[in-house]
């Protein structure tokens, strides 16, 4: 006889914990992470839910289980996976989530016969959704929440390929003033996505999440894995892109071959997104934009309304978040970033070129009418897209 279950539901579900436990079979496995296995389970109402199982006796699994509940039970956003509830006994811990029929971004880009067969419109939508989810965690939750394991396989895709940030087993809140925390004994992050400063100082900040997001954005644009088998000597995608641009080769060659041949307007969007990804993956944390800034820069590519629709409201009051609409007028872009875009830098410089490109009128008007530094940053990106070559980015210098 199994130990008794303790169950807490945050949504009204016709759910029998005993039936759920019996459904956790090998045939229902849809994913596996560092701390648990994920199953697809049908409940009596006909609804499909995702169930993540942890071994309650295993220390890291138990810590991840507690972290996910502590984080997801108190927040709601359209681009963050929804926690439906949890169950626990002496042997097993379970988390219940909305089921995502289209799997993960990593699988979409890299796995199966249809790997990478997804249009730019969908890729851009996913990139923007993840950026806005991270911006919510960093800027609209009080104190801020660090995800600490942003990667393509932790981004779930809904029926319409909406992006949902998932797997909060390593998430932590930022309690101290500098906005960083020391790494705990449980190693944070995944190979290929870890920011340089973590290896050097073992300290993680919101800018560490920004770096990981930049790697994901490069995956979306190039179709390459962070450490792709096609790269020489185990090279990383960030260095691969930088080396290509240093050599003055056509930057369009960096794009996923499945995206090449698209209209010039879309190619230009891809190259502007490439510029944003290179800002995000700057070697120095202070040279990276905030996720709030990144979301604005991506929206400016399409001249979409800043902020999009309102994020979902929380189902319960929490000291960890404030019910405010995202505010994207930020002064967090540093003068160093401006200089990198305008004049270049020994650390990380960008130059763009395209005779077919123009500065979006919305970026110009926003820059003229408001002191928003984000708009100024985008204006400088647009201003550099000019002159000699028909397409894209000219140089990216370490």
**Helix, strand or coil for residue 240?**
helix
Are the CB atoms for 191 and 227 separated by under 8 Å?
Answer: yes
List binding-site positions.
52
Q: Which of 147, 270, 119, 162 is nearest to 210 (CA)?
A: 147
Please report the DSSP string for 246-276 in residue order. Answer: HTT--GGGGS-TTTTTS-HHHHHHHHHHHHH
Tokens representing 167?
């797997």
DSSP tally for the chain: helices H, then strands E: 12, 14
State residue 336 phi and psi, 5-degree precision.
Answer: -60, -40
Q: Which residues contact 337 (CB under 8 A, 6 or more apart)?
A: 279, 287, 289, 377
Task: Give the active site residue among 19, 140, 149, 310.
Answer: 149
**CA distance linking residue 292 with residue 182, whole number of Å:** 23
Tokens representing 345?
């830098």
**CA distance linking residue 2 with residue 396, whole number of Å:** 59
Q: Where are the alpha helices (DSSP H) in 44-119?
A: 59-72, 105-110
Tokens representing 329?
């007028």
List binding-site positions for ATP.
52
Tokens representing 233?
């000597």
Q: Which of 91, 87, 101, 89 is nearest to 16 (CA)?
A: 87
Q: Is 149 a catalytic residue?
A: yes
**CA distance linking residue 374 with residue 227, whole number of Å:** 31
> For the chain, how big is the Rg over CA atoms in Å?
21
Neighbours of 299 (CB within 10 A): 21
373-384 and 264-280 helices, crossing angle to 10°: 120
* Active-site annotation, residues: 149
């Amino acid at each position: 006889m199994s130990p008794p279950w303790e169950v807490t539901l945050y949504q009204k579900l016709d759910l029998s914990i005993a039936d759920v436990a019996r459904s956790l079979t090998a045939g229902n496995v849809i994913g596996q992470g560092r701390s648990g296995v994920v199953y697809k389970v049908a409940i009596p109402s006909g609804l499909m839910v995702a169930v993540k199982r942890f071994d309650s006796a295993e220390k890291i699994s138990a810590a991840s289980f507690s972290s996910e509940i502590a984080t997801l039970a108190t927040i709601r956003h359209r681009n963050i996976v929804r926690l439906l509830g949890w169950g626990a006994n002496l042997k097993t811990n379970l988390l219940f989530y909305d089921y995502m029929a289209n799997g993960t971004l990593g699988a979409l880009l890299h796995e199966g016969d249809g790997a990478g067969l997804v249009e730019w419109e969908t890729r851009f939508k996913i990139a923007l959704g993840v950026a806005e989810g991270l911006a919510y965690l960093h800027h609209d939750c009080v104190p801020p929440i660090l995800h600490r394991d942003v990667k393509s396989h932790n981004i779930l895709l809904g029926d319409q390929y909406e992006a949902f940030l998932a797997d909060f087993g390593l998430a932590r809140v930022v309690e101290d003033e500098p906005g960083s925390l020391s790494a705990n004994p449980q190693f944070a992050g995944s190979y290929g996505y870890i920011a340089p400063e973590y290896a050097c100082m073992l300290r993680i900040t919101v800018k560490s999440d920004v770096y990981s997001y930049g790697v994901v954005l490069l995956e979306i644009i190039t179709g390459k894995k962070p450490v792709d088998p096609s790269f020489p000597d185990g090279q990383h995608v960030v260095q691969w892109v930088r080396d290509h641009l240093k050599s003055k080769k056509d930057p369009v060659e960096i794009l996923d071959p499945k995206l090449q041949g698209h209209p010039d307007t879309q190619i230009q969007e891809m190259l502007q997104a490439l510029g944003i990804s290179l800002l995000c993956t700057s070697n120095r944390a202070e040279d990276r934009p905030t996720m709030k800034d990144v979301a604005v820069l991506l929206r400016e590519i399409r001249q979409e309304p800043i902020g999009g629709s309102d994020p979902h409201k929380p189902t319960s009051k929490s000291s960890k978040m404030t019910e405010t609409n995202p505010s994207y007028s930020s002064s967090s872009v540093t003068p160093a970033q401006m200089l990198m875009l305008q004049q270049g830098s020994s650390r990380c410089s960008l130059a763009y070129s395209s005779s077919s490109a123009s500065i979006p009128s919305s970026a110009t008007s926003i820059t003229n009418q408001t002191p928003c530094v984000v708009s100024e940053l985008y204006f400088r990106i647009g201003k550099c897209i000019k002159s000699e070559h028909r397409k894209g980015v000219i140089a990216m210098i370490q």
